[in-house]
């Protein structure tokens, strides 16, 4: 039963509660009164993670910037991190807000967890298509210096990095100086890699003009290594990269100094053969054939001007150097040739045999890596005069010879063999191409038919005499289409292939004879 006293107690309790709430609102720091003006209480998330609540958004960006700055200040490298801020607002009368210190701690924790990668400062070295990343300018110079030191014993020449005047300011290039080099990036250079002249250049020019020109004595020459540099332009640019993309200095030095196989082009010269090119370049014939799809085997025909792909061992960064040497050597005088217009270039006659001379000389030799490029004698003294070789030589270009059939399979080569059938010689004086009976046979070169008809073991055959004194023979024919004394031109049809005479099957036997002696036809076909 409610009494007047109990009602009095309830009213008093309500008043006390309201008073306590009012006191808490004004004296407890975790709660803030809000005015009703729309959203006035915000839950904040960074990268989808809750970091606290605020009563206004005006300071939020500053919190994030301060946290990012603190993290970035801990390293000299570039730090990339996500900072996607989202807020969810509501309108409340009372709300608990997160303190600034706690909010900063929470934001920093989330940002550290979102670091994508740290981009370290370094340098990228570029030479043609090759590039390598190093962590400092000292490492760049150490690597380039190692390229030079591979070819010098006294370490007289040193690398210097300078701003490339023809490029953006942050692009460096290298020059090589004789003597000690300060390890710092210096002034611009001109297009030839020279420093600004200044007073030193003026003085040098003055003395060059005053000093009379005279021939140096043997003792006045500087012998040994006199100049060095890089064969290609070296470019160095600043870069910011993940640490994983930098190459350790020791590995970079091995990478740039070790010889790598690089594809290059060789242009076929007069008189070249695949075996000769192999000897000149040091590349096996099999490897040359493998690199060039136009070549079937070691007997494939090559023409002057053809471009063959070959591999040449070269380091990634090539070094050119100039060496001045004193030499004592035997030498030959240049051959003296008396031209004869009625002769072919293959016809010669020696009128005077040569005799070697002996001389002292100073030679300037230019190298790229280990390969000698040029050699120039700048001073010489003849001790014994050489005697030149004097010879007559024709000026007429000799006829060319081509394969006398299209297609066919090389079935028997020139030279010694086991006799394939009774009556056949064990020394094969030509080459055979297996081909169906009736395949067109063409004149290998222009000439006059000297035999046309039956030729015993040859079966039906055709012999053609050529203006350079050579003779071609075509054997085991099924049909002869020319007659003795007839002039034929290169690639004119003269017969059809067959299987006549001493033959093991349908094929064409082809010979080339010089002064009556059989030679390997594959050495003469173009």
DSSP labels, 149-216:
HTT-SS--EEEEEEEETTS-TTEEEEEEEES---SS-EEEE-TTSPPP-HHHHHHHHHHHHHSPP-PP
What pLDDT is recorded for position 481? 97
CA distances from 334 to 347, 348, 353, 356, 390 (A): 19, 16, 12, 11, 9
Residues in the chain with pLDDT values less than 50: 1-2, 23, 26-30, 187-200, 202-203
pTM: 0.47
Instruction: Give strand ranges (E) for 268-418.
Output: 307-314, 319-331, 336-344, 348-352, 357-368, 371-384, 390-396, 409-412, 415-416
What pLDDT is recorded for position 70? 85
What residues form DSSP beta bridges with 126? Answer: 131, 235
* CATH architecture type of domain 264-314: Roll (3.10)
Q: Are 181 and 158 in contact (CB under 8 A)?
A: yes
Q: Backbone phi, then psi, for 273, in 5-degree steps?
A: -130, 165
CA 239 – CA 147 distance, rounded (Å): 23
**How many beta carbons lie within 10 A of that of residue 133, not counting itself?**
19
What pLDDT is recorded for position 468? 87
Residues of the chain with CATH 2.70.70.10: 409-523
Side-chain half-sphere of 371: how many Cα atoms within 13 Å?
13
What pLDDT is recorded for position 28? 47
CA 379 – CA 439 distance, rounded (Å): 65
CATH of 320-396, one of 1.25.40, 4.10.780, 3.30.750, 2.20.230: 2.20.230
* CATH architecture type of domain 409-523: Distorted Sandwich (2.70)
Q: Are 34 and 94 in contact (CB under 8 A)?
A: yes
Cα 434–438–444 angle (5° rounding)? 70
What pLDDT is recorded for position 520? 94
Indicate the DSSP class of residue 246.
P
Residues of the chain with CATH 2.20.230: 320-396
Q: Is 14 exposed, middle or buried (0-12, 13-18, 19+ CB in 10 A)?
A: exposed
Cα 210–215–218 angle (5° rounding)? 130
Residues of the chain with CATH 3.10.350.10: 264-314
| 138 CA to centre of own chain | 26
Instruction: Give strand ranges (E) for 91-179.
Output: 94-96, 115-127, 130-134, 157-164, 171-178
What pLDDT is recorded for position 6? 53
| 147 CA to centre of own chain | 17
What pLDDT is recorded for position 197? 43
């Amino acid at each position: 039963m409610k009494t007047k006293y109990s009602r009095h107690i309830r009213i008093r309790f309500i008043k006390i509660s309201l008073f306590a709430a009012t006191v808490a609102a004004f004296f407890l720091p975790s709660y803030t009164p809000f005015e009703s003006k729309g959203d006035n209480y915000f839950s904040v998330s960074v990268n989808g993670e809750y970091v606290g609540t605020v009563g206004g958004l005006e300071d939020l960006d500053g919190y994030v910037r301060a946290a990012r700055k603190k993290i970035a200040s801990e390293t000299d490298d570039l730090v990339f991190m996500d900072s996607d801020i989202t807020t969810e607002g509501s309108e409340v009368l009372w709300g608990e807000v997160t303190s600034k210190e706690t909010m900063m701690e929470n934001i920093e924790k989330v940002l550290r967890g979102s670091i994508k990668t740290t981009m370290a400062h370094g340098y990228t070295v570029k030479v043609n298509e090759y590039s390598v990343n190093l962590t400092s300018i000292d490492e760049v110079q150490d690597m380039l210096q190692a390229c030079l030191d591979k070819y010098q014993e006294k370490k007289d020449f040193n690398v210097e990095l300078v701003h490339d005047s023809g490029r953006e300011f942050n692009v460096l290039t290298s020059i090589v100086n004789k003597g000690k080099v300060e390890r710092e990036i210096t002034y611009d250079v001109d297009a030839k890699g020279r420093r600004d002249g200044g007073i030193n250049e003026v003085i040098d020019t003055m003395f060059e003009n005053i000093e009379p020109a005279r021939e140096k004595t043997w003792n006045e020459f500087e012998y040994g290594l006199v100049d060095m540099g890089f064969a290609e332009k070296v470019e160095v640019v600043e870069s910011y990269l993940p640490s994983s993309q930098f190459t350790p200095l020791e590995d970079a030095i091995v990478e740039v100094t070790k010889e790598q196989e690089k594809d290059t082009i060789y242009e076929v010269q007069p008189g070249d053969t695949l075996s000769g090119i192999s000897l000149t370049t040091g590349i096996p014939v099999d490897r040359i054939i493998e690199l060039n799809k136009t070549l079937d085997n070691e007997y494939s025909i090559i023409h002057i001007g053809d471009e063959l792909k070959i591999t040449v061992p070269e380091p990634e960064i090539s070094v050119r150097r100039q060496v001045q040497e004193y030499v004592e050597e035997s030498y030959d005088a240049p051959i003296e040739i008396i031209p004869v217009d009625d002769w072919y270039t293959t016809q010669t006659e020696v009128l005077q045999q040569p005799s070697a001379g002996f001389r002292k000389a100073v030679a300037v030799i230019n190298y790229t890596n280990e390969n000698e490029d040029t050699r120039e004698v700048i001073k010489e003294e003849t001790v014994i005069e050489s005697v030149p070789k004097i010879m007559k030589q024709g000026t007429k270009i000799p006829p060319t010879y081509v394969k006398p059939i299209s297609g066919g399979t090389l079935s028997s080569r020139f030279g010694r063999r086991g006799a394939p059938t009774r009556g056949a010689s064990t020394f094969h004086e030509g080459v055979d191409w297996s081909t169906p009976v009736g395949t067109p046979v063409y004149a290998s070169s222009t000439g006059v038919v000297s035999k046309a008809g039956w030729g015993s073991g040859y079966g039906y055959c055709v012999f053609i005499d050529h203006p350079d004194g050579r003779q071609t023979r075509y054997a085991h024919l099924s049909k002869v289409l020319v007659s003795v004394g007839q002039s034929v031109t290169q690639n004119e049809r003269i017969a059809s292939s067959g299987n006549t005479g001493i033959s093991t099957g349908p094929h064409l036997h082809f010979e080339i004879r010089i002064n009556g002696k059989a030679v390997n036809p594959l050495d003469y076909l173009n």
